[in-house]
Amino acid sequence: MGIWYHFAILFEALFILTTVDAGTRVLRFMIQDLVGNAVPTFKETTSWTNNLIGSALSVVLWGYFLYVGVIDPFGGIWTLWPLFGTANQMLAAIALTLCTVVLFKMKRERFALVTIAPATWLVVCTTIAGLEKVFSPNPNVGFISHALKYGEAIAAGQLLAPAKSAAEMTRIVVNDYIDATLAAVFVLVVAATVIYALINIWKALANPHATAVEIGLAGAVAGGGHA
């Protein structure tokens, strides 16, 4: 059995580590694109300076939360952990909404149901989940009711698991409020994306021509620049 157990450990670590390394690179691209809107030269991925700065920023961002989480059971990533599932699915909702907008802008709206259906499902699902995470009266689900429950225990001088001291009790309450705030922010980000999507779909329907912003035309010579 020993070998299977270690195989499982290896399997798990390998499975996830390949996501972390590719993800770091992806985060670098994202930072380069985002900062690049203010400093256009930073977008250039062939520059080693940009590469090094972008990569360093990328690992510092997630590495900070990781390292603090490893040395402190209530800090760093442990604060954000409860948001993981909902936030990830909200990202899918945003991505599928974008896909829908682009299908309309390509004037391919007759096929748009292939992304409208899953986008709608995810927007509804994640918005309800996000709101429940914030407002549910069940302290096992809602951040605010969880914070209130721990707040009452603090007032009564009690300790609730997993806290082992009054200081940890306070930190759990603070974490709950951070999570509640971020969950609400994510719900608003999804809502804003949907509103802008509807506006852009409306514009695309009113325009008789395809308006999608594609780069590099069919049959173009390799190495073509920005269109």
Partner 1 sequence: MGTLVDTTGWQTKILWTGVALLGAVSFGIVALNRGEAVDAAWLVIAAVCIYFIAYRFYGLFVANRALGVDGTRPTPAYRHNDGLDYVPTNRYVLYGHHFAAIAGAGPLVGPVLAAQMGYLPGTLWILAGAVFAGAVQDMTVLFLSTRRDGRSLGDIVRAEMGSIAGTIAGIGILLICVIVLAVLALVVVKALVGSPWGTFAVFCTIPIALLMGIYNQFIRRGHVGEMSLIGCVLLLAALIYGRTVSETPALATYFDFKGETLALIIIGYGFVASVLPVWLLLAPRDYLSTFLKIGTIALLAVGIIIVRPDLQMPAVTKFIDGSGPVWAGSVFPFLFITIACGAVSGWHSLIASGTTPKMIENERQIAFIGYGGMLMESFVAIMAMIGASVIHPGVYFAMNSSAGLIGTTAEQAAQVISSWGFVVTPNEIAQMAKDVGKQRLCRVPAGHRRSPSAWRASFRHFSAGRH
- Scan residues 25-54 and list those touching partner 1 (CB under 8 A): 25-31, 33-34, 37, 45-46, 51-52, 54
Q: Please give the size of the binding site for partner 1, defined by CB under 8 A.
A: 121
Binding to partner 1 (CB under 8 A) within 132-171 occurs at 132-133, 138, 140-141, 143, 146, 161
Q: Is residue 38 within a helix (H) or strand (E), and if so which, with residue range?
A: none
Taking the least distance from each CB to partner 1, the nearer of 102 and 173 is 102
Tokens 């062939």 sit on residue: 46
What are the Cα distances from residue 142, in Å, to 44, 93, 95, 191, 223? Answer: 43, 21, 26, 20, 52
Segment contacting partner 1 (CB under 8 A): 85-93, 149-157, 163-171?
A: 85-93
Per-residue binding string, partner 1, 172-211, x by CB under 8 A, is: ----------x--xx--x--xx--xx--x-----------
The angle subtended at Cα 125 by Cα 120 and Cα 129, nearest 5°, is 150
Handedness of CA 152, 156, 157, 159 (dihedral sign): negative
The separation between CA 184 and the C-alpha centre of its own chain, rounded to angstroms, equals: 13
The footprint of partner 1 on residues 99-128 (CB under 8 A) is 99, 101-103, 105-106, 108, 111, 114-115, 117-118, 121-122, 124-126, 128
- Should residue 222 be labelled a site residue for partner 1 when binding is judged by CB under 8 A? yes
CA–CA gap between residue 163 and residue 174 (Å, rounded): 13
Q: Which of these ranges, 73-81, 150-158, 163-171, lies near partner 1 under the rule CB under 8 A?
A: 73-81
CB of 154 to partner 1, least distance (A): 18
Q: Residue 53: how many CB atoms within 10 A of its CB? A: 16
Structure tokens at 201: 């779909």
Minimum distance of partner 1 from residue 157's CB (angstroms): 20
